[in-house]
Structure 1
Amino acid sequence: MSEPLLELKDVRVGFHGRTVLQNIDLHLNSGEIVTLIGPNGAGKTTLVRIVLGLLKPDSGHCHMMKDLRIGYMPQKLQIEPSMPLPVSRFLSLAGASKKQILNALTCTGVEHIYNSPIQTLSGGETQRVLLARALLRKPQLLILDEPVQGVDVNGQRELYHLIKIFRDETGCGVLMVSHDLHLVMAATDKVICLNNHICCSGHPSQVSQHPAYLQLFGHESSELAIYTHNHNHAIDGHVIDCGDCQSGNQDKSQQ
């Protein structure tokens, strides 16, 4: 069996005398999509910070595969409104060429905003640009913190589907953070329900019926919206091949 991308064992973190995370065991393999769910204050962001290496646990261990490439998509982007910053320039700050940037924007369905000021984008367009930036790193592990924030329901379906396509095309692992299971079910392999500790984990259809999940989110949340698809397309609806994101990253000679 191949080495896991990420493994946490008995991780504990506390701030100012308050325990934020305790007894956290988590492992994530290549090609696996794992979704963290939990209420506000459950410790989801703290756990992501540990995985990103921004925070050390008070106890326990966090092991990552050697030289692991991580692509990170934050919850939101804050840019000074008066700063002239087109999408092309924002993405070039990641060290990418024009070809790579256009490939990544095509994969996320927003290549038409290449020259648009980033401050003028809609919430959905901004999230797609942030995802494109994460994909530019050719990640072995893609970490997505509330990736559908500010996106309407149809856009959420397409964005989750796009993440699944990228996983299928590249074999990367995905660690995704969400508030609940709504619309996530068809796009994830495993769910971890977090409330300062792991309340339950497993396939989303099992977790949605678990007493700990129902206690946190209520019985209405167990009625999940299942989204299925039989072909690959980007968020704007056109058929795509996310392999282009990979091939585009191979060529850094064209500026």
Structure 2
Amino acid sequence: MNSPQEPLISAQDIGIRLNGRDVLERVDLSVSRNEIVTLIGPNGAGKTTLVRILLGLLQPDRGSVHLQDDLKIGYMPQRLSLPDNLPLTVQQFLTLTGSATSEKLTGIANELNINHLLKSPMQTLSGGEHQRVLLARALLRDPDLLVLDEPVQGVDVTGQSELYSLITRIRDQHQCGVLMISHDLHLVMAATDRVTCINRHVCCSGHPEAVSRHPAYLELFGAHTSSKLAVYTHHHDHTHDIHGAVVPDEEHHHG
């Protein structure tokens, strides 16, 4: 049995340059079993590139990725657009790979409360229903690690809260690790054990704590977020200019 201290997946010193631009520099990230890690950062921070590297779809210029032996990963994309002229019911969509037994499909459909949708066309689903179906597809792989890219995309606020609660229950029931990617911490913080904030490199990483007005976090995400977020305490020794380049942060050294 794997030691709980050994990460399911870990990335060390990841760096990559694409189209003449440094997209990621010196990035470390790890996810262990039974842990929910949220990767946050503004648009263009390199989150999607990092996920592609973790999934083995892209090779970094430097650094390494280590996966536990026989690691099974379930991936949930941001959103899947199906053409209107491709009629697929939810059940047909979930059985496209042909690997799931009907018993397993029924169990996961009940767990995610989508059993009443199985005969519905994919194109008729609401945002929240669509995301639950994508989550079900990822769970059918019986994953050790779930990778969820913007899992609440296109879902209203009430649905977002329900979806995050569901992800926490899935972690508890399946005892898997979860890596969530987000650019908005409005509701993520209550449903995560650890946060890594990147803007091409790791700006900060830590555990969620009480609601905070930490200036380093607000530098990246704006003062309007402070009243509705549970943030974690961390310290920056730099800022970013409008192009994302690092600028020494001497003005905050007085504490």
1:16 partner letter:
N
2:54 partner letter:
V
Q: 8 Å contact 1:11–1:21 — kept in the other structure?
A: yes
Q: What secondary structure, in the 3-state scheme, does the structure 2 residue paired with 1:14 have?
A: strand
Residue 3 of structure 1 corresponds to 6
Distance 1:207 1:172, change over 3 A: farther
1:155 matched to 2:159? The reply is: yes
Distance 1:208 1:217, change over 3 A: farther
Higher relative contact order, chain-length normalized (CA < 8 Å, sep 6+): 1
Q: What secondary structure, in the 3-state scheme, does the structure 1 residue paired with 2:200 have?
A: coil
Residue 45 of structure 1 corresponds to 48
Once the two structures are TM-superposed, the CA of residue 93 in structure 1 deviates from its matched residue by 1.3
Once the two structures are TM-superposed, the CA of residue 169 in structure 1 deviates from its matched residue by 1.3
Q: 8 Å contact 2:76–2:148 — kept in the other structure?
A: yes
- Quote the Cα distance in structure 2 between the aligned partners of 1:204 and 1:198: 16
1:168 matched to 2:172? The reply is: yes
Q: 8 Å contact 1:35–1:192 — kept in the other structure?
A: yes
- Quote the Cα distance in structure 1 between the aligned partners of 2:191 and 2:37: 9
Q: 8 Å contact 1:11–1:61 — kept in the other structure?
A: yes
Identity, % of aligned pairs?
59
- Quote the Cα distance in structure 2 between the aligned partners of 1:100 and 1:58: 40
1:81 matched to 2:84? The reply is: yes
Distance 1:43 1:207, change over 3 A: farther
Q: Deviations over 1:165-221 (max 9, x none)?
A: 111112210000011211111100001111101111101237964433210111221
- Quote the Cα distance in structure 1 between the aligned partners of 2:218 and 2:207: 15
Q: 8 Å contact 1:34–1:190 — kept in the other structure?
A: yes
Q: Which runs of 4+ in 1 moved over 2 A?
A: 204-212, 222-226
Once the two structures are TM-superposed, the CA of residue 63 in structure 1 deviates from its matched residue by 0.6
Residue 128 of structure 2 corresponds to 124
1:74 partner letter:
P
1:140 partner letter:
D
2:224 partner letter:
E
Q: What secondary structure, in the 3-state scheme, does the structure 1 residue paired with 2:78 have?
A: coil
Once the two structures are TM-superposed, the CA of residue 45 in structure 1 deviates from its matched residue by 0.5
- Quote the Cα distance in structure 1 between the aligned partners of 2:49 and 2:228: 27
Unaligned runs of 5+ in 2: 231-255
Once the two structures are TM-superposed, the CA of residue 83 in structure 1 deviates from its matched residue by 1.1
Pick aligned residue for 2:185 from 161, 168, 181: 181
1:52 partner letter:
L
- Quote the Cα distance in structure 2 between the aligned partners of 1:120 and 1:209: 41
- Quote the Cα distance in structure 2 between the aligned partners of 1:207 and 1:71: 32
Distance 1:210 1:225, change over 3 A: closer
How many residue pairs match? The answer is 226
Residue 64 of structure 2 corresponds to 61
Q: Deviations over 1:212-250 (max 9, x none)?
A: 321011122133356xxxxxxxxxxxxxxxxxxxxxxxx
Residue 23 of structure 1 corresponds to 26
Residue 242 of structure 2 corresponds to none
- Quote the Cα distance in structure 2 between the aligned partners of 1:107 and 1:123: 18
Distance 1:11 1:183, change over 3 A: same
Unaligned runs of 5+ in 1: 227-255
TM-score (norm 2): 0.85
Once the two structures are TM-superposed, the CA of residue 101 in structure 1 deviates from its matched residue by 1.7
CA RMSD of aligned residues (A): 1.6
Alignment of 1:126-141 (within 5 A): 126-141=130-145
